[in-house]
Structure 1
């Protein structure tokens, strides 16, 4: 009995030091922000927030009202602009459920470091949202486009980028902590996926865009933005962006098209890819060797080939290897000659494998990167031919 009384007394004393939900916030007091855009307006920042309208997304309830609303303000700092939104919003902007951060291209060219400083310090903000660059437009205009399959545009942008990275490859998902790590890295400059507005901006901002089978406006991911430290300096096209994801071993699945030996096209679905990057230093000359092993399926045949022959499969594998090696090498050379910054992380490889040599090389690494020899070797294998083992065109030729 005494033991029980002692335990009860200890529990009662402990309760005195428990604060409970001292910082709780009611949902009715918060404006749930799922998308945020940051643009430059002269010397100031213009912040746009995409806020969910709960009544329009709850259950089956709907109507002519759009599912989100936008608040935007300009300030000398991001925090000032966000706090100024309370003059228009009846609720405090709450960004803990942020899905996408869009940075305007003009801001990115001036530098994104200051803009990221507030976000990295905010204790309420999670770091699992994606960061993208509004290509040839502003972040505000990008967030205004209404989408169909997903009621909330920012959720649509998040899901689209996630799906594209898994199934296509010229896009990449970067979160806040990953971006900051790359900005602070000595041997790698960051890249971010670009997003464009395709079609009529005016109609895309209205519910009319949702009432069409083929919407007048869409948002579409397009290429990778190349940064030198925190400043945007250029863009990679689709093929170059795919090369980047191959080098960084981020390929989950994608499609490649090769030309058949006798003409016509053949599509290969990449099912598995593994990239190994090795660095070496001879004297003061660093060298990078990239090895890629891949497994593919034949997905589509638009040429006359006999897929039942092992020599045909071997020839197709050889053509695939040559094409992959060709565009990856060309992409590396373009970055070396045009942008002159190491976005592939080759410096990190040298840093980890040759720390003593890195101490001498890191001061002028970008210059060393531009003249560094890089070799690419691809070993791809075709594992499956699909549901049929012969070419439809070849079968049709036999009937004639």
Structure 2
């Protein structure tokens, strides 16, 4: 080797040596055979403390040749005065340490929500291990442990079924809201915005739904269902929005990408259903006579999906009449939803306070201490820009068509 090349080789070696010494591997490395991967967690209030339930993957059941007689997940739980202690206490009955890096869903029971969720969630806000994308929901009528124990039909891993259903229902059915841990942290710490969480309950025969037989026939014995949006003041649950008011919340908060709604037929009996294909909302805070007033503009587009009234959609007046009926229905849903939230709960779940803070910062500093009282009395003006775009493959209702047509 030439002297110049040898010198360059030694120089490169001296440059690389510090890196070889310092970069020796991951400081918190864990082997897969040393941990249990928790995909979902539930926290219930019991005996003045917490019962933490984890749904963990059984690694032996993740291969293609897995046994049909053994569940792909295991449910483990333990009780203690703090959430962290309860999770660590699980190691007394499990051969592996719990790993939450792939956590998808956290379920809190309604008792915790009514007393305050900050304490129960402190670990999940503080710990570096869970990814910030997992969703949080509230159990209604059943414990979080019961819900995590249900054998679900559509996914091998029940946690994946619960998580995907929440995501899909938010996109395709407006009365649910997928709130992740980052969203909830912001709701709890920002002034002018109160938290909300979607509820989940069980229907059918719950005891049979916890057994593998639940998915061995065409109809399940027991199943879960997302139902309603819970309203909070600070970290305490006040109550639940019904389906219509939950849909209004999703419209105002720009969470509707698609949904289906119905409206009364104009001037006659029957109803028609519309698939909403696009919905965009904007807020315009105003000062009127020194008082806060909010103007909401909602742009909605949809396609006619079903018609059960006697209309001739070849006629422009009938088409426009349906469009107006749809517009009036959306306006009623949003307007009454906001008023019900104001009157029943009196807390700003829509973030109106944040909008006023941005546009009128000086005025906001005078209002922020009693903002919810001002929100309760605030006038909200709702404007709807609504259009029907497509009629489907037939124009008039099927029952109005004669064979000659």
Query: How would you bin the TM-score normalised by the shorter chain?
Result: over 0.9
Residues 1:132 and 2:152 are matched in the alignment: no
- Residue 337 of structure 1 deviates from its aligned partner by 1.1
- Structure 1 unmatched runs, 5+: none
Residues 1:392 and 2:401 are matched in the alignment: no
Which residue number in structure 2 is paired with residue 308 of structure 1?
314
Please, which moves more after superposition, 62-71 or 190-199? 62-71
Residues 1:282 and 2:288 are matched in the alignment: yes
- Residue 135 of structure 1 deviates from its aligned partner by 0.8
Residues 1:164 and 2:169 are matched in the alignment: yes
Aligned mates of 1:345, 1:165 — CA distance in 2: 19
Which residue number in structure 1 is paired with residue 150 of structure 2?
145
Which residue number in structure 2 is paired with residue 61 of structure 1?
66
| 1:215-364 equivalence runs, <5 A | 215-261=220-266, 262-364=268-370
Which residue number in structure 2 is paired with residue 4 of structure 1?
9
- Residue 272 of structure 1 deviates from its aligned partner by 0.6
| Aligned pair partner of 1:77 in 82, 107, 111 | 82
- Residue 305 of structure 1 deviates from its aligned partner by 1.1
Q: Deviations over 1:198-253 (max 9, x none)?
A: 11121111111111211110000000011111111100111110000001011100
Aligned mates of 1:367, 1:279 — CA distance in 2: 17
SS at match of 1:71: strand
RMSD: 1.3
TM-score, normalised via structure 1 length = 0.97
Aligned mates of 2:73, 2:401 — CA distance in 1: 54
- Structure 2 unmatched runs, 5+: none
Residues 1:47 and 2:63 are matched in the alignment: no
- Residue 42 of structure 1 deviates from its aligned partner by 2.7
Aligned mates of 1:58, 1:127 — CA distance in 2: 28
Which residue number in structure 2 is paired with residue 380 of structure 1?
386
| Aligned pair partner of 1:207 in 198, 202, 212 | 212
SS at match of 2:349: coil
SS at match of 1:16: helix
SS at match of 1:269: strand
Q: Deviations over 1:145-184 (max 9, x none)?
A: 1111101111100000111011111101111011000100
- Check the 8 A contact 1:284/1:357 in 2, yes or no: no
Q: Deviations over 1:80-113 (max 9, x none)?
A: 0000000001100111111110000111111100
Q: Deviations over 1:254-287 (max 9, x none)?
A: 0111111222111111011111111112343100
- Check the 8 A contact 1:287/1:373 in 2, yes or no: yes
* Matched positions, count: 399
| Aligned pair partner of 2:31 in 11, 22, 26 | 26
Aligned mates of 1:20, 1:83 — CA distance in 2: 26
- Residue 34 of structure 1 deviates from its aligned partner by 0.4
Please, which moves more after superposition, 9-18 or 209-218? 9-18
Aligned mates of 1:28, 1:162 — CA distance in 2: 31
Aligned mates of 2:152, 2:245 — CA distance in 1: 28
- Residue 329 of structure 1 deviates from its aligned partner by 1.2
SS at match of 2:22: coil
Superposed structure 1 runs of 4+ greater than 3 Å apart = none
Q: Deviations over 1:303-347 (max 9, x none)?
A: 221111222121111111111111211111111111111111111
- Check the 8 A contact 1:290/1:377 in 2, yes or no: yes
